[in-house]
Structure 1
């Protein structure tokens, strides 16, 4: 069959579904059938799944014409989320049935039973849908080359989600091996819009590889209209604060739910998801049975039930987190509500795309600000959506921990020859700068346990065979390694289970450690009484008493992306000029009050406010650069001021600014004149100001787990977080004291500065501040801009009820005389 005949087959099938192929789908089919690799850039809900399933099937029909069907693996589809697997499988099966192709489609993930996986290894399906981790487990299987050799295509879905993570690095390494094992392999990525698409293609295919030079970037020219509406309260608070999470607008949310077929309500963190679900039920008891909750810690069976109930239109609303961000197709969803700033344009557009998830349909998303200044974020997001401004995803470089794990993976299966693997790994983006010395260090590490651990046999995992092959022969080491494959390292989680049987979900160990038997807490929408903790299981029973606390998770808060920070600043600077958006117009009472107490800064100005309260002397700085940059910047400036005079500060920060609070007044003009915002010695001063060693020690824990230096435990017998921490700390101290050039130790420091403290962004922020006129305002009292920062610090100390009372008193006090 020639290409026209093949296209005619596909178009006939599309017509039978009442569809017409988009130009981008046909462009992808053409490039694939020409034997090319590529990256497909298409928005959510545009039909990108069929852009690649179709040519994979057509390519088979072309090659198999007149031949008997031969079973075996033809293509692999990688998805970062297990939840998407079923949908991708259904799409493939619909096409196979329509084109009458004798293909078997199967899923292989952590949810696949052991017996099913064993069956697959004996007879692989024609099309396999799997995750990055399960693909690594395939590479850890004896005879994997024979299993994979006939695979002619691999599709990496949602590539933008993997890029800039260690799972993405894991994928780069797997692809480097598959290029050698699978002859005539075509590699395709699918990505929603990101800023650095060309770099995304380089990372996927290898920057200077043959695969990259024989590749295309296919862009879908589809303008999906996104209607963004802000939920603006009738009465604006003069002093906005952070503690109430927007609950004063719950009536508006209930109204939107009633008027829509199905609504997804996105919160940024799981604890907010729990709270909003409960508050909605309290506000509107009739919602019982019509609304549900979905986040990553709820039991898998419950999550699947919720997903199916959305598809079947059995639910009016679902309160969720990023667990429903990606690719799941829920046709009945009409409306999205975003609670609080999503902190990034791409995340906001991704969530908006869940609404009317069909080509050509308009998406509707409401933005609910949790405090008034977040309305500036809403206004900025509207402009970003109009101009399609989205973030870059910054890829990792030299992730030695992932490379150590990968080498052990290959050693567990059939072993590897170092020169072959070195040449493959060098073609990846992550390890393009790796030299022979680095590689020799990695080989020494897996065979001898590195220079400082040579005396301990447990770290000598890999043996060198007579033929020069590197192999793991000990069964216990192989078992431990297979159980720990992956790069997602979280705090130890414990299964929550009813005493009568039945799992509810999983919760972090640190939260449960704060409870004692008899305490009542709310989790997964249920009031639960803690009975006891046994074998990393939390045994509970239903409680009739009101809960004293809601389940919460560590590390939940997101920070503004660099692009979002820039948009936010431009929007704020524009508040002093010209035509205002509805959001900025609604904020005019706050801007008016801010101008009375201080100023609303221009683009050429950098604002510092100082005032005194009974807590002490406050100095507030407003870089509008996001929480992580402010955390580092606050420590840096506090350190520099302390060099001029002995002084102690307590620090607070949010996405808009940060506070230095002290019991003595700073001579602000004097410290500004002493090069306070200099970009010189930033790295040195950061190391001195923050406990960089302590932060690197925490970062090293994750690196040690990924590299297999510490074992996280068997299913149901997970090693406690404090034990993991103490094991990894011990190794950290050994490397720091006896082997300072250890690559994993150096990586811990590098990741601390590059990823956690965002040192590059911090330096750019200082450069910008140096180009602005510094406006220092000595204020009488806290200003509207400063209020959310002050109350953020209080929130760390007080419960939500006592915080609300405290805020009300503060507001009343500051409003006196107005």
Structure 2
């Protein structure tokens, strides 16, 4: 049979549906038959999932007596695995193929998990965490010995992070167990295919990975929604905000006009807010739902089923539905607020129509004028086929420690053999013997400062150099606690009858008193009481607060940041913007200046008895928050009497009693060596990072048999250990890992460094007599983050109008 020939059962199934096998689907089969790994990059709706499974189906048809686990499918989301199972079972049933398919995740019942290890399906759909847990079992060598294929879906969603580190290590272990196993990865939004080929291949050998490129689909139909102007008036894009709340009536009209609409927001907070505002004007009582990661599994499954059955007109959601879920009846996607990245936007747009030959229709709703520029930048990038993504980096030591423990739970190991296996995974290809010995030392007994405690003595090495578990109970404890996703400390929200709605952060729950109300799961809820782990509520019709969630802020990609900066100096291009956006830019050009690409513009001016310094760096909220904190410290040391700072993705503003006359002295690069280190060491960032690495590495347990620790208990445990290590072993493996996380993920230290380098060479300081137009979007944020309602809100509105009037005066 030729390398692309298909069995008659499969060709007959395609013909019965009026389909033809696509070129990239045949090429995936050819790559498999040639014994190669494969990376498939193809647009949404191109049949990527079927292309990934096609070699497995063909192999199982051609070898009908095949038993045992043949194919593993790895997805970043449990919901995606369930959706894929549903869509895979239909063609298998239509072709009457005797192929068994099952899912395995944290939601799978224990009895089914046990049965799967003894009698596995031929195709198992799972997640990176569940796969690593399977590899920690003593029977894993038997279970995976006949494995032929691993399919990794939506690989861009996790390959560059810690879940990708864990999966890369699991793939290395699977190769050790089943050397002939072949890997395939699927994605619609990979920026640099060679980077992913190197990640996918053993030892980074990209030549062993065939890159299969799918055909381009119909161009997406994308528009930017701006406020509807009253007759005779011009459009007015808001100066501030990032929710797009002004467009709610227009969004509702779109929902009425379409069969099914997905309304994406960037945070769970905004999802709740947008849902409530839509529901308030839903006079026709259209079925509109809400979906985000903090809702209960039952609530999410219920809404997913209703969408799949076509019973919903709209669904407000977050990144929880970014990936792969195939609801073919969606005919419009609306993005509330700026998209923050072209790849993310393309992924979300692809949820509409989900067919290669039909254009996906999308509307972008910018929250303010800078976000309008960002939306236009994302739209241009999508039209040009440009993608963005996170860079690859060396693997986390905490993840490595967890995997080493998984290996020890499965079987004793030789140190050198395991090191060679780990080095075959790209994130750990530079792992040397001394570094590995540090990880083994930590996994053995917790390290120098903790080795006196028996609870940390998990491994021992015998006289032959073989590593063993000290006691089987450590394997049980490891399997109960392993995982990469460390949520913020959460409390369950439930009714008195026991029905759960989801979770809110402990920090939010701590602010509630009996009788307080808050919006959650699309309802107004009144708190009745609170116990150790639960917030007990009842439905309410009173006005409510809205819960917010930490760690949910999407970063602005460098790619989009660069495009927005280019817009500022592309004066002929301003003609395509709405009149008020164009006038805003023109007035800035007249009153102050525009930063050229590569320049750092710093404006200083007085306003209402204070002095302001606004920096336009376009490096994202995390970097700006960090630098704002550092600069106000440095301003304090220079006697400038700083009051505070405020930041968005594009700029940040520091305000003080005394004027800043020499910004360059504040931005000197040694700030990262002096103030930054002191600040991180003394801030909550390092403790928060330590909490995560302590949990991931297995140093601190989240669960014991029959009992789960509360977030407060986990935090208390990690804080105690943090204080011990900081005092007695500051170079401990986990302190190093926590520093790496705090510097990179929580503060965007790389972007901070580039910002400071740019400041040294290209700072442009403009001293003004009053606020500039470009400064208004960030200045109107001052005070808003802690405003509830009423007179205070009115005062802020008056202040904003005063800022705008001063900025746009032409005198």
Question: If the TM-score is normalised by the length of the shorter chain, which range does it land in?
Answer: over 0.9
Distance in 1, Cα, partners of 2:682 & 2:394: 20
Measured after TM superposition, the shift of residue 682 of structure 1 is 3.8
Q: Relative to structure 1, is the Cα distance of residues 708 and 636 closer, same or farther in structure 2, using a 3 angstrom cutoff?
A: same
Measured in 2, the distance between the counterparts of 1:364 and 1:475 equals 55
Measured after TM superposition, the shift of residue 467 of structure 1 is 5.8
Please say if 1:332 is aligned against 2:326.
no
Closer, same or farther: CA 666–202 of 1 in aligned 2, 3 Å? same
SS in 2 for 1:354: coil
Deviation at 1:560, TM superposition (A): 0.7
Q: 2:273 aligns with which of 272, 275, 285?
A: 275
Cα distance in 2 between the residues matched to 1:792 and 1:538: 31
Report what 1:319 is aligned to.
316
How has the CA–CA distance of structure 1 residues 802 and 413 changed in structure 2, closer, same or farther, with 3 Å as cutoff? farther
Check the 8 A contact 1:25/1:51 in 2, yes or no.
yes
C-alpha deviation, 1:421, in angstroms: 1.1
Q: C-alpha distance in 1, partners of 2:730/2:273?
A: 46
1:343: which partner in 2?
A: 340
Counterpart-to-counterpart distance in 2, 1:274 and 1:714: 33
For 1:633, the equivalent position in structure 2 comes to 627
Classify 1:703/1:293 alpha carbon distance in 2 versus 1 (closer, same or farther; 3 Å). same
After TM superposition, the score normalised by the length of structure 1 is: 0.93
* Equivalent residue in structure 2 for 1:624, among 618, 621, 626: 618
State how far apart, in whole Å, the 1-side matches of 2:705 and 2:520 are. Answer: 23
* Partner of residue 808 from structure 1, selected from 778, 797, 805: 797
| Deviation at residue 579 of structure 1 after TM alignment | 5.9
- Among 394, 397, 401, the alignment partner of 2:394 is 397
Partner of 1:618, secondary structure, is strand
Distance 1:816 1:376 in 2: 22
Q: CA deviation at 1:641?
A: 4.7
CA gap of 1:98–1:465, structure 2 versus 1, over 3 A, is farther
Residue 785 of structure 1 pairs with residue 783 of structure 2: no
Residue 297 (structure 1) aligned with residue 286 (structure 2):
no
Q: Deviations over 1:599-634 (max 9, x none)?
A: 444447543222323362111111122112222333
Q: 2:550 aligns with which of 554, 562, 577?
A: 554
1:29 is aligned to: 29
Distance, in Å, in 1 between the alignment partners of 2:480 and 2:598 is 55
Matches within 5 A, 1:157-176: 157-176=153-172
In 2 relative to 1, CA 604–511 (structure 1 residues): closer, same or farther, beyond 3 Å? closer
- Matches of 2:643 and 2:799 in 1, distance apart? 22
The aligned residue for residue 651 of structure 1 is: 645
Q: CA deviation at 1:125?
A: 0.5
721-730 or 520-529, larger mean C-alpha shift = 721-730
SS in 1 for 2:795: helix
Residues 238 and 367, structure 2, Cα contact 8 Å, conserved in 1: no
**Structure 1 residue 802 displacement after superposition:** 5.0
- Per-residue Cα deviation, 1:207-264 (whole angstroms, up to 9, x for no partner): 445xx44221111131441121111122678894434732222221111111111111
Q: Secondary structure at the match of 2:364?
A: strand
Q: Say which of 205, 221, 224 aligns to 1:227.
A: 221
Aligned residues: 803
8 Å contact from structure 1 (residues 163, 393) kept in 2: no
Q: Distance in 2 between matches of 1:709 and 1:109?
A: 23
Q: SS in structure 1 opposite 2:774?
A: coil
Q: CA deviation at 1:293?
A: 0.8
Distance 1:711 1:372 in 2: 46
Which of 449, 454, 464 in structure 2 is aligned with 1:452?
449
Which of 122, 129, 141 is residue 133 of structure 1 equivalent to?
129
Give the TM-score normalised by structure 2.
0.94
Provide the C-alpha distance between the structure 2 equivalents of 1:297 and 1:4, rounded to a whole number of angstroms: 45
Instruction: Find the residue that maps to 1:21 and give its secondary structure.
Output: coil
Stretch of structure 1 that moved more, 496-505 or 677-686: 677-686
Distance 1:657 1:172 in 2: 37
Report what 1:89 is aligned to.
Answer: 85
- Whether contact under 8 Å (2:562, 2:597) holds in the other structure is no
Call closer, same or farther: CA 1:42–1:95 in 2, change over 3 Å: same
Q: Deviation of residue 534 (structure 1)?
A: 2.8
- Structure 2 distance, partners of 1:604, 1:447, is 49
Query: Structure 1 residue 586: deviation in Å?
Result: 4.7
Q: 1:472 to 1:157 in 2, by over 3 A?
A: same
Corresponding residue of 2:729: 739
| SS across alignment from 1:500 | coil
Does the Cα contact within 8 Å between 1:447 and 1:460 map onto a contact in 2?
Answer: yes
Residues 1:72 and 1:687: Cα distance change in structure 2 (over 3 Å): same
Listed as ranges, the matches of 1:346-361 within 5 Å are 346-361=343-358
- Does the aligned pair in 1 maintain the 2:240–2:781 contact within 8 Å? yes
2:98 to 99, 102, 105: 102
Give 1:86 shift.
Answer: 2.3
Q: How far apart in 1 are the matches of 2:640 and 2:472?
A: 59
Any unmatched runs of 5+ in structure 2? none
Question: CA 1:717–1:510 in 2, change beyond 3 Å: closer, same or farther?
Answer: farther
- Change in 2 beyond 3 A, CA 1:123/1:625: same
Q: In the TM superposition, what are the counterparts of 1:195-594 in structure 2 within 5 Å?
A: 195-208=191-204, 212-233=206-227, 234=229, 240-243=238-241, 245-288=243-286, 290-464=287-461, 468-544=465-541, 546-574=542-570, 576-578=571-573, 580-581=575-576, 583=577, 585-594=579-588
- CA–CA separation in structure 2 for the residues paired with 1:808 and 1:534: 39
Does structure 2 conserve the Cα–Cα contact (< 8 Å) formed by 1:236 and 1:587?
no
Distance 1:690 1:128, change over 3 A: closer
461-470 vs 225-234, which moves further: 461-470
